[in-house]
Every structure is written in C-alpha cells, then in structure tokens.
Amino acid sequence: MKPVSALPLRQHNHQHCIHDALRQAKIIAEQKGLRFTKQREQVLGLIWQSHKPIGAYQLMDALADATGKQVAPPTVYRALEFLLEHRLIHRINSLNAFIGCPCPGEGHAGQFVICRSCGITLELDEATVKAPIQALAASVGFLIEQQSLELSGLCPTCQIGIEGEAAHG
C-alpha cells in the first residue's frame, strides 16, 4: 500500500508553529505562576524550528550561534527539565533528543513516527493505541506513569525517494 500524501508537517510555516508554541508556553507559565525565562524561551523556540528531534548539544551550539556566547550544558539541561516538567516538549528516548509538544500542558501518551531518513517526527495521540497498552500493564498489576511509543520508518516523501532510486539504480 503506497501513501498518497506527505506528512502534514512537510509544507507549512514553521514560524507559525514557533509563535504558537511560545504563546502557549507563556500562557501556561502565567497560569501556573512560573518563570518563563529568556533562556527557556530560546530553547523552546529552537526545539520547534524544524519538527525534527534535537539533542542537548545541538541546542547548545544553536544557542551559541544565536546569542554569540557559549552556553554551559547545565543551563540547557535546566531549561529542558523545565520544559519537560511542564509538558511543553517530549523526550524522544531512542534518539536522546527533544521535540515540541503540540498539546502542551496536557498529560497524554506520546506516540511518535520518526523518519529514519530525513528525521521528521510527528506526534500522534491515538486512544485506540493507548488503551490496550494500559490494559495489558494493568493485567499484570503494573501502573504506567509515563507512556511513549516511538515508531521508526520512512515518511511518504522518503519512501518515494527510495522507490525512485531503486527504479534508476
């Protein structure tokens, strides 16, 4: 079965995503009485730039490029901890990287499709996937505190690229 279209993140305005993410983060911080510092804002903006998971050291380099100053690892890790704690981002465990959350502040099980070729990552939140996993865990007396499902493969655009290479190779 061939896909009929690319992932919905392929052709859209990333600046709109960044703006919305920062606006939502500021609202959540204000509602909870939290400090949303310039550093936290910069880290969140960088995470939202491409819809591809980004690692802490990549963030340090990007911050240094943006500010013209070196940034110490603890500074970035503190910002990441804050963003994770308040559900503004997700950690992609298989890549040791982070990605923005389209439903910030809400507790939900993340399901991610990650293209192994181009790196684009899309978060899904499908209850029909979450429920059987929770039921299975409950059947053995296990209480799930955090659930994340990461699926690696090829996005529609990269599948087409590979098919094209095979036809010409």
**Better-scored residue on pLDDT, 16 or 116:** 116
Residue 59 · residue 47 · CB < 8 Å: yes
Chain-wide mean pLDDT for the chain?
86
CA dist list (Å): 22 to 58, 95, 98, 125: 20, 24, 16, 21
Q: What is this structure's pTM?
A: 0.83
CA–CA separation, 10 vs 32, rounded Å? 33
Question: How far is C-alpha 94 from the chain's CA centre?
Answer: 12
Which domains, from first to last, does the chain contain?
Answer: 14-168 (1.10.10.10)
Asked whether the predicted pLDDT for residue 167 surpasses 60, the reply is: no
Q: What does the pLDDT look like over 5-15, one tens digit per residue?
A: 445 555 566 67
* Section 90-116 average pLDDT: 88
Q: What is the pLDDT of residues 33-53, one digit of tens each?
A: 999 999 999 999 999 998 899
- As a whole number of angstroms, the distance between CA 76 and CA 81 comes to 9
The reported pLDDT for the residue numbered 164 is 62
